[in-house]
Amino acid sequence: MYKTNQAKSQAMTEQQSKERIKFLTEKINEFNYKYYVEANPLVPDYEYDKLLEELKQLEQQYPQFALPDSPTKKVGSDLDTKHPKAKHKYPMLSLDNTYSKEDLSDFHNRIIKTLGPNDFFYTCELKFDGASVNVTYKNGKLIRGLTRGDGETGDDITENIKQIKPIPHILKGNDWPAEFEIRGEVLMTHEMFKKLNAEREENGEEPFANPRNAASGTLKLLDSNEVERRNLICFFYYFAMDDYPTDSHYELMQKAKEWGLPVSEHMRRVRGIDAVMNFINEWEEKRKKLPYDTDGIVIKVDSFALQNELGFTSKFPRWAVAFKYKAEQAKTKLLSVDFQVGRTGAITPVANLEPVFLSGTTVKRASLHNEDQIKLLDLHYGDTVIVEKAGEIIPQVVGVVKELRPKNAEPVKFIEYCPECGTRLIKKEGEAKHYCPNEWGCPPQILGKIEHFVSRKAMNIMGAEATIKQLYENGFIKDFGDLYYLKKEDLVKLERFGEKSAENLLNSIEKSKNSDLYRLIYGLGIRYVGETVAKTLAKHFGSLDKLMSANKEELTAIDEIGEKIADSIIEYFSEEKNLEIIEKLRKAGMKMEEEQESGVGNKLNGAKIVISGVFDRYSRDEIKKLIEKYGGKNVSSISSKTDYLVSGKNMGPSKKEKAQKLGIKILSEEEFLQMIGLL
């Protein structure tokens, strides 16, 4: 844990202060990049805020040592290299924040000092722990959605914003301003977060640290269909425009509800700092019952005219502040660290703790994530550690009380060899986790692969999961292909396994031979190929053999399939052991072809079609379904193999230019519908 000690800071020499400023600037900028761009936080919010406050105080004391890229002078940036950029019409700043009610009183006194004893209102709102967005409406229609970016420029994620169900594409009524920007927070519910992380772990992907990072990562996806599937929600909290139709922020937000915009029902307008404190106290416990994360309360001067009078700093509005609740934490002792091996070979360190009660449950174990996190904490065996629940869900170690460290305590070192099979671990470029590469010689990986294959979403072999370990340890199976060669006389030899149980298992195995192709593809356990991707691959190729022979260009031409997934598929089918298992399945009579739907015709005759823009008669998803229904193929990017580009409104100019350059026919929505006979 990075310590902040104001008294110590003040006692530093000038040289020490200069070095500390440089260290804090570099470290906080690194944390910002991980948090905003990679959606992978390295430290808890409270720890980050304390470091930033220490840097702010040192820079005030020694302004000559402040660096040009100091994070105290700029908004944390989430800009990436994947999305087009666009300017915010009005700067999108951060909020100053505090964990102290005394600081909140100071904020109120500064307001009074500037405005005088005016009889003004505050608006109190829940501070949502999600990803900030800025959405523009013109003539009642959603025309653009941006991330916060660096406060001046954001990533254009309009298509993804349109997949968030609570955000309307067209406003209700007709008394809305002709054009305005509205800021909001995009969130992922606890339920969806758990479901998504379970899927990611199942597919061999790193789970998200918390719902906030899951929401942020989702907004940056290039596949808008996946954004829709993740069921994000949104609450808008502030308008930006030239002329406000009312002087009250609260009244304007209530009007926004009438226009169909998602606005929190828990917003309240109050008078005086005591009423603000009451609101904070009221929600400290109530917020924990909400289905999404909140981490504080935002207090704003309600009058736009008074906001304008109070003005801004380079980073914050002077008329608003965020009070943040301290995450519920507990101190306990680190007893040991286990290193668990997952189905994909990923090694996860887990802290074993003296039991401690936290947020309604007794915590005995907590995730340490990876080697980098262990080093960041400077963790030693026997340490007194601070544990909190990320998003009130996942216990994690967030700090160490170093003053209580036992003498001669040994540092926790990440293992070099697999704890199960002894193979030297590897760390793949660009990934935080270590892996055991011995995938067909490491028992937990083998068992994990077989358990995945028989699971409900895959081959759905009833009763198999409970007996896999027995079958493996008794030498009856070495991989999931062996399941199809089991004999009744072998099964009845197993403990607690009678004739009826054996017959039921064998019948379920036999039935699985006729499963849908997507279940087989998913069951193979190809890294990054979840259920949704498996369905896409099955529908596109129609047979396992065609998928096995596909090259990278063919794979990435499919909507939803990026380079990472394509590389993983190609790597899987290049492994001799995987091909051996598939051959076992084939010889056992496994169905490896999809029964193709006839649809309503083949008018598009396999044409590869890209769609771009927004359409009047049908949604993007409906257009895609029509393409498939009439015998065409949806592809995500334009290439020389593309047959048509179906163009809607606000189509990106680069796509149109590329299509024209390659001589690809561009169809309007009407022309496309005429082609398939719907107009």
32-42 pLDDT, tens digit each: 776 655 556 66
Say whether domain 443-587 belongs to CATH 1.10.150.20.
yes
CA distance 583 to 579: 6
Say whether domain 608-675 belongs to CATH 3.40.50.10190.
yes
Which range in 13-22, 76-85, 472-481 is most confidently predicted, on average pLDDT? 472-481
pLDDT at 56: 83
Mean pLDDT in residue range 558-580: 91
Q: What is the pLDDT of residues 487-526, one digit of tens each?
A: 998 888 888 788 888 999 999 999 999 999 999 999 999 9
CA distance 437 to 451: 19
Band (pLDDT 50/70/90 cuts) for residue 595 is: low
pLDDT at 304: 95
Q: What is the pLDDT of residues 401-445, one digit of tens each?
A: 989 999 999 999 999 999 999 999 999 877 788 999 999 999 999
pLDDT at 37: 59
Burial class of residue 443, CB neighbours in 10 A (0-12, 13-18, 19+): middle
Of 134, 23, 150, 155, nearest to 74 by C-alpha is 150
**Residue 437 three-state SS:** coil
**For residue 521, is it left (φ>0), alpha (ψ between -120 and 50) or beta?**
alpha
- H/E segment holding residue 144: strand 141-147
Q: Can you read off the two tokens belonging to residue 145?
A: 């959605």
Q: Domain 85-324's class?
A: alpha beta
Alpha carbons within 13 angstroms on the beta-carbon side of residue 367 total 16
β-strand partners of 294 = 128
The one catalytic residue among 50, 127, 162, 255: 127
**For residue 276, is it left (φ>0), alpha (ψ between -120 and 50) or beta?**
alpha
Q: Which residue has the tokens 């003053």?
A: 403
Q: Can you read off the two tokens belonging to residue 290?
A: 């909400």
Max CA-CA distance within the chain? 90
546 catalytic? Reply is no
Burial class of residue 435, CB neighbours in 10 A (0-12, 13-18, 19+): buried
Mean pLDDT in residue range 180-187: 95
**75 vs 131: which has the higher pLDDT:** 131
CA distance 542 to 523: 16
β-strand partners of 303 = 248
Instruction: Round the average pLDDT of the chain to a whole number and report it.
Output: 87
Report the range of poorest mean pLDDT among 82-86, 144-148, 467-471, 582-586. Answer: 82-86
Mean pLDDT in residue range 304-327: 90
Give whole-number Cα distances, 170 to 167, 232, 233, 266, 614, in Å.
Answer: 9, 19, 17, 24, 13
Q: Are 517 and 538 in contact (CB under 8 A)?
A: yes
Distance of CA 38 to the CA centre of its chain: 10
φ, ψ of residue 552 to 5 degrees: the values are -65, -40
Q: Are 181 and 135 in contact (CB under 8 A)?
A: yes
pLDDT at 222: 74
**Degrees to nearest 5, angle at CA 445 with 444 and 447:** 65
The structural domains of the chain, with segments of one domain joined by +, span: 6-65, 85-324, 329-427, 443-587, 608-675
Say whether domain 6-65 belongs to CATH 3.40.50.620.
no
Instruction: Record the pTM.
Output: 0.63
**Residue 34 three-state SS:** helix
Q: Residue 135: count other Cβ atoms within 10 Å of its Cβ.
A: 24
CA distance 652 to 642: 17
Fold of the CATH domain 329-427: OB fold (Dihydrolipoamide Acetyltransferase, E2P) (2.40.50)
Q: Can you read off the two tokens belonging to residue 531?
A: 């259920």
The torsion defined by the Cα of 254, 258, 262 and 267, in degrees rounded to 10, comes to: 20
CA distance 393 to 284: 17
* The pLDDT of residue 2 is above 50: no
Give whole-number Cα distances, 157 to 134, 180, 221, 289, in Å.
Answer: 10, 17, 9, 31
Mean pLDDT in residue range 48-67: 83
Helices (H), 174-322: 190-202, 211-219, 224-229, 249-258, 273-286, 304-310
> Positive or negative CA dihedral for 240, 246, 249, 251?
negative
Burial 220-237 (b: 16+ CB within 10 A, else e): bbebbbbbbebbbbbbbb
pLDDT at 8: 44
pLDDT at 10: 45
Band (pLDDT 50/70/90 cuts) for residue 229 is: confident
